[in-house]
Structure 1
Amino acid sequence: MRDKNILITGGLGFIGSHIANTLLENNNIVILDNLTTGNINNLNNPDNENLKIVKEDIRNINLDDLTSDIDYVFHLAAMASVPLSIDKPVECSDINLNATIKLLESCVKNDVEKIIFSSSSSVYGPNKNMPLKESEQPMPKSPYAASKASCELYLKAFNDSYGLNYTALRYFNVFGPGQDKNSQYAAVIPNFISSILEGVQPEIYGDGEQTRDFVYVKDVVKANINAAESDYNGIVNVASGEKLSVNQLYEIIKTTLNSDLEPEYLPERQGDIKHSLADVSNMIKINCKIDSKDFESQLIETVNWFKTIL
């Protein structure tokens, strides 16, 4: 992708900043971020002349002005936490759903070529039909998951009603350099790595036999860019198509870091699902393929990044 005008909402966050860093040299980037969880230090070159950073809340800014002359929108701004959404369901709906609808309306007004929406595997909920296909009926167990599923429906409605092109990417468990270990709701991989490096007993919710489908952040970036350049309108799982239990994951990280720390097992968290595994056959529709054999080298790269900040 070259010589495009691109808006990245939530562009200072974990995934959004990786997209920005990848696209910045050859495109004009506008980042919208209210810095709730984003950090300007996630950018490789925040002073790049091709970059404009708007430090505002997506709920409050004039989105018609923001999307003027924009070719592609990568929409990642969200309350991205299941537990927080359970604590604050109205705020979750306001940020994740209502603001998205306003953004879609602005995209239509300004003839945006395509919007790439960051959805989530949480929309599948407790569905046991593994591997999970995009055609499965959503079964959200949290306000966060419900908001993402609702946004997907609005994306289709705007495509049918106004011709707005879109791809909704259902991320499974994303990991990689740049994840915030200090977040109250930090993901399992940065929690494990940072705990071991700091000599603190890691915590596992439940019995650890829950399984997840992990995907590297650089593969997620590739999926976003490929989706923007594709002519596919619809939903795509973004995952490796391989499952790993939390206990297995911990053993790999523990071995990688030559640690003998044993985890502490805590009660299951409300809203968490037991198993998650993606059917990744739809990724061919956005000309994207993920090689799950790279997992351990990607994990080592992630570990090495955490060593530089701790």
Structure 2
Amino acid sequence: MKLLVTGGAGFIGSHIVEGLLKRRDVTGVRVLDNLSTGYLKNIEAFKEDDRFEFIEGDIRSVADCTKAATGMDMISHQAALGSVPRSIKDPATTHDVNVNGFLNILDAARGGGIKKMTYASSSSVYGDLPDSPKVETKTGRVLSPYAAGKMANELYAEAYARQYGIQLVGFRYFNVFGPRQDPNGAYAAVIPLFVKAALEGKAPVINGDGSITRDFTYVENVVNANLNALFEFEQPGTHEVFNIACGQTTSLNELWRLICKLCEIEIQPIYGPVRNGDILQSLAEISKAKMKLKYTILKTLEQGIEQTINWSHAIQVKS
């Protein structure tokens, strides 16, 4: 099998590429990435594998998408412009990448005769839904342009599955974290920011009073879901969405205390205002993924945090 991974130089995408290259039944892995939020260093080690190919290109370009999909059997679509705050500041660019780019990839799959594709949706589609845990069959009103774009992806995926017979599997990721996640920049995620602060002996800034909860999900679990959907889950011409998480909720205060414990430090955080568009409580029901995809939680939150700290420390020492 030959697979295209869009956004394959990014955080999640590069881990999926690594997982694919470990499989003997994979004869080719092609990455399409414009390197706007991905990095060549994330895929440097894969260049030694003659099954690996990198195309620098943009999912907003129809020509780039067509070229990247040519000759492929399946697609793992991870390319996106993340961050709720960024989407609120610049909704047009977020829409262009996350919706128009997604449609370009769908059309490239259709034109190339590709019959299976996984893609990154988001837990943000649950919006203001008060129900907990979140179940795939019920969503709320979206709270940001980013969430609206991911909801649009799911609607387009449903239409393409019905009209063109492509099997599409969407993953509502819940706060994925792990090695290769960038702690720098205005839109960095909470765990790399907290780990960076802990290793530097600084106090992190917590949005709100620390009671906001998240279902933090180690990246290895996400790879497990993608590979199972690509190679084990056969429902031709259908569209399914799955929560990908650990089914465990953790507050930001609890998260910081865990990181402090693992780093053997005691630092009090700084509290700031709640960010506009943030979901306040997040917990996933993951029984559907376990049943249909044989999804397995390979690492718990604490195990994942420990690995992330070790990786971050090693990077810090090198630099």
Please state which band the TM-score falls in when normalised by the shorter chain.
Answer: over 0.9
Residue 18 (str. 1) matches residue 20 (str. 2): no
Residue range with higher mean Cα deviation, 44-53 or 182-191 = 44-53
Name the SS for the 2:46 alignment partner. Answer: coil
Selected match of 1:79 from 58, 78, 81: 81
The residue that corresponds to 1:46 in the other structure is 47
The residue that corresponds to 1:96 in the other structure is 98
CA contact (8 A) 2:214 2:283 kept: yes
Query: Which residue identity does 2:163 align to in structure 1?
Result: S
Once residues 286 and 138 of structure 1 are traced to their aligned partners in structure 2, the CA distance between those partners, rounded to angstroms, is 25
CA RMSD of aligned residues (A): 1.3
Once residues 185 and 11 of structure 2 are traced to their aligned partners in structure 1, the CA distance between those partners, rounded to angstroms, is 12
Q: How does 1:251-270 map to 2 (within 5 A)?
A: 251-270=257-276
Alpha-carbon displacement from aligned partner over 1:253-273 (angstroms, at most 9, x marks no partner): 011111111111011111111
- Normalising to structure 2: TM-score of the pair? 0.93
CA contact (8 A) 2:32 2:57 kept: yes
Alpha-carbon displacement from aligned partner over 1:157-191 (angstroms, at most 9, x marks no partner): 00111111110000001111111011321111111
The residue that corresponds to 1:304 in the other structure is 310
The residue that corresponds to 2:294 in the other structure is 287
CA contact (8 A) 1:138 1:149 kept: no
Once residues 219 and 132 of structure 1 are traced to their aligned partners in structure 2, the CA distance between those partners, rounded to angstroms, is 18
Q: How does 1:145-294 map to 2 (within 5 A)?
A: 145-229=147-231, 230-232=233-235, 233-283=239-289, 284-290=291-297, 294=300
Once residues 143 and 256 of structure 1 are traced to their aligned partners in structure 2, the CA distance between those partners, rounded to angstroms, is 36
The residue that corresponds to 2:61 in the other structure is 60
Residue 5 (str. 1) matches residue 2 (str. 2): yes
Name the SS for the 1:277 alignment partner. Answer: coil
Query: Which residue identity does 2:170 align to in structure 1?
Result: A
Once residues 255 and 203 of structure 2 are traced to their aligned partners in structure 1, the CA distance between those partners, rounded to angstroms, is 15
Q: 1:46: how far off?
A: 2.7
CA contact (8 A) 1:20 1:29 kept: yes
Name the SS for the 1:45 alignment partner. Answer: helix
CA contact (8 A) 2:55 2:68 kept: no
Once residues 145 and 245 of structure 1 are traced to their aligned partners in structure 2, the CA distance between those partners, rounded to angstroms, is 21
Query: Which residue identity does 1:248 align to in structure 2?
Result: E
Query: Which residue identity does 1:20 align to in structure 2?
Result: V
Once residues 116 and 142 of structure 2 are traced to their aligned partners in structure 1, the CA distance between those partners, rounded to angstroms, is 26
The residue that corresponds to 1:139 in the other structure is 141
Equivalent pairs counted in the alignment come to 306
Name the SS for the 2:95 alignment partner. Answer: helix
Query: Which residue identity does 1:124 align to in structure 2?
Result: Y
Name the SS for the 2:121 alignment partner. Answer: strand
Name the SS for the 2:58 alignment partner. Answer: coil
Q: 1:61: how far off?
A: 4.9
Q: 1:200: how far off?
A: 2.1
Query: Which residue identity does 1:113 align to in structure 2?
Result: K
Q: 1:291: how far off?
A: 5.6
Once residues 60 and 117 of structure 1 are traced to their aligned partners in structure 2, the CA distance between those partners, rounded to angstroms, is 18
Name the SS for the 1:46 alignment partner. Answer: helix
- Normalising to structure 1: TM-score of the pair? 0.95
CA contact (8 A) 1:240 1:291 kept: no
